[in-house]
Structures are given as C-alpha cells and as structure tokens.
C-alpha cells in the first residue's frame, strides 16, 4: 500500500492509571477503504478507535503519546478546535444512541450545530441522508415522531444518517452490528461497502466472518499491540505471524 494514508498513527502509546492499554501502535489507514481493527475482546481496538476522534479525552488518568496525523494535522497535539476535527469523523457505537428528539431532529442536529438554519435546506439534507441509509421509506410518514419509537436496527441506521449529515470524511464504527439482528447487521455491512466510495471507514469487530466480508485492510491486535496488518486478501490467505494464524484458526477469541 504505497499511496498516502488517510490517517497515520505513529508510535502511539496509551495508558490509563499507569496500565498500558495501547503499546507502540503504528498503523496506516488507507483512504476510501474499509479498515478493520480485528482482535479478541480487551485487546484495545475500541480504545484505539476512540483515540482517533479524541473521545479518550473523557477518560480519567489517561496518558497518551505518539501522533495521529490526519490531513497534515496531529490530532493529539493540535491547537485547533477539537469539535471541528470530530466533525470530520462520524461515530457508530456498539448500540445506537439516538438523541432524545424526533427522527428529523436527530438527522438535522449536526447541521443545525454547524449553523444551517434554512428549513428547506434542512428538509433536503434530512431526506437525502435518510435515503442514503435506506431508512427514508420506513420513516417518511413519521419524521417528527420520537426516534425512541424506532427498532434498534432502524435506530442504528438513523445514527449512521445523523453522522453522515455532518459531512465527515471518515466513519468510525465500534462493533456496529453487535446489538443488531442478522438482517439489520447485513444491511449495515452492505451500506459500508457502498459508503467506502466516498468515505474512509474504520470498523472495529471481533467477528472474524464479518471482517472477511467487508475488510479491505486488516489490523490485527492482541493485548494492546498490533500483531499484523495488511491488505485483507493477503492477511487472510497468508498470515505471517504465528499469533495471527492461531487466531484465524479460532484458537482464541
């Protein structure tokens, strides 16, 4: 992979309460591809994801060093507004967290914060992004109903639409299908493969089959370290490290 990466993580170390969570992480996340952070539970993949948009700011006693370069800017040491950087990255959590407002309110929330006021503009965007996540037909009659009334699968798609509406360049997804039924999971996966045309996706998962289905680039993590990374076909067909081989055989989860 010789092209310039979208995100370049170098020598990243992170500890909480003096306990090392991430150890010397060096990862290149390619643009307009799905990068999968793969590994067993507790290997630090979610923490790595949250470091990318500095949600780790919310942790207590956290120590980070190293650098994460996005668009020639070190996210970890930047002086520019962190909310602006966060807007470049949409987040999809393990389970949907819709905002306590209407369906319409959820999608337009980020736009309103960015200063879009015109009703017509908001209407158009809401429709556009709800269509982008295949939710429009299901909710067009009840846009102003509470988002809480939607099913979990619909809520997760709403959260994706809400994230896309802010016009990010990157989508961060933290085990986005773990709370969903198989059908909703499938639709999220399909959407990801369509979205990668316009966005760079970073998806955390511990489901090997899911990684095989969607990944273009795989970063395999174990106990806070990156064991192996590479393009998906290479990674799955000819893994180099013993630990990777063992994991792919299902030796540990």
Partner 1 sequence: MPDMIKKAEEIFFRILMIISTVAIAAALLLILFSILYKGLPSLSWEMISQTPKGGFYFGKEGGILNAIIGSLYLSICSTILALIIGLPVAMYMNVFLIRHKKSLNLIRFFLDILWGIPSIVYGAFGFVIMIYFGLKTSLLAGIITVTLFIIPIMVRSMDEVIKTVPSGLLESALSLGSTKTEISYKVFLRQCIPGIVTAILLSFGRAIGDAASVLFTTGYTDSIPESLSDPAATLPLAIFFQLGSPIEEVRQRAFASAAILTFIILLISIVARLLSTKFNRNKIKF
Q: Which is nearer to partner 1, 86 or 218 (CB)?
A: 86
Site for partner 1 in 11-50 (CB under 8 A): 50
CB of 236 to partner 1, least distance (A): 30
Picking from 56, 1, 47, the residue whose alpha carbon sits closest to that of residue 23 is 47
Binding segment (CB under 8 A) for partner 1, from list 23-31, 119-127, 160-168, 183-191: 160-168
Instruction: Retrieve residue 49's tokens.
Output: 């994801």
Binding segment (CB under 8 A) for partner 1, from list 57-65, 68-76, 180-188, 236-244: 57-65
Listed in sequence order, the DSSP H helices in the chain are 45-52, 82-87, 103-113, 119-132, 136-139, 152-165, 182-195, 208-214, 232-237, 242-248
Decide: is 164 part of the binding site for partner 1 (CB under 8 A). no
Contact 122, 114 (CB under 8 A): no
Spatial separation of the C-alpha atoms in residues 36 and 200, rounded to whole Å: 11
Q: Quick one: angle between helices 152-165 and 103-113, nearest 10?
A: 20
CB of 108 to partner 1, least distance (A): 11
Q: Which is nearer to partner 1, 46 or 184 (CB)?
A: 46
The residue within the footprint of partner 1, chosen from 91, 126, 202, 215 (CB under 8 A), is: 91
The residue within the footprint of partner 1, chosen from 57, 71, 124, 242 (CB under 8 A), is: 57
Site for partner 1 in 117-146 (CB under 8 A): 146
Picking from 185, 174, 228, 180, the residue whose alpha carbon sits closest to that of residue 209 is 185
242 contacts: CB under 8 Å, gap ≥ 6: none
182 contacts: CB under 8 Å, gap ≥ 6: none
Binding segment (CB under 8 A) for partner 1, from list 2-10, 72-80, 99-107, 211-219: 99-107
The residue ranges that bind partner 1 (CB under 8 A) are: 50, 53, 55, 57-60, 62, 83-84, 86-87, 89-91, 93-95, 97-102, 109-110, 113-114, 146-148, 159, 162-163, 166, 172
């Amino acid at each position: 992979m010789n092209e310039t990466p979208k995100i370049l993580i170098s020598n990243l170390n992170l500890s909480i309460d003096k306990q090392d969570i991430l150890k010397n992480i060096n990862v290149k996340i390619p643009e307009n591809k799905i990068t999968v952070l793969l590994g067993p539970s507790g290997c630090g993949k979610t923490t790595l994801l949250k470091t990318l948009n500095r949600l780790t700011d919310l942790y207590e006693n956290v120590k980070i060093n190293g650098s994460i370069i996005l668009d020639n800017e070190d996210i970890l040491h930047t002086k520019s507004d962190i909310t602006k950087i966060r807007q470049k990255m949409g987040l999809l959590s393990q389970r949907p967290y819709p905002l306590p407002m209407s369906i319409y309110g959820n999608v337009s929330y980020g736009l309103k914060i960015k200063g879009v006021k015109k009703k017509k503009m908001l209407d158009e965007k809401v429709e556009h992004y709800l269509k982008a996540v295949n939710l429009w037909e299901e909710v067009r009659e009840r846009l102003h109903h509470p988002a809480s009334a939607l099913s979990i699968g619909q809520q997760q798609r709403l959260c994706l639409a809400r994230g896309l509406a802010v016009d990010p360049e990157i989508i961060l997804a933290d085990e986005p299908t773990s709370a969903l039924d198989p059908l909703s999971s499938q639709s999220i996966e399909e959407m990801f493969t369509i979205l990668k045309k316009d966005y760079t996706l970073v998806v955390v998962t511990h489901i090997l089959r899911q990684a095989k289905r969607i990944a273009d680039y795989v970063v395999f993590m174990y106990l806070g370290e990156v064991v192996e990374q590479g393009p998906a076909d290479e990674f799955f067909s000819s893994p180099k490290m013993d630990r990777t081989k063992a994991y792919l055989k299902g030796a540990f989860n």
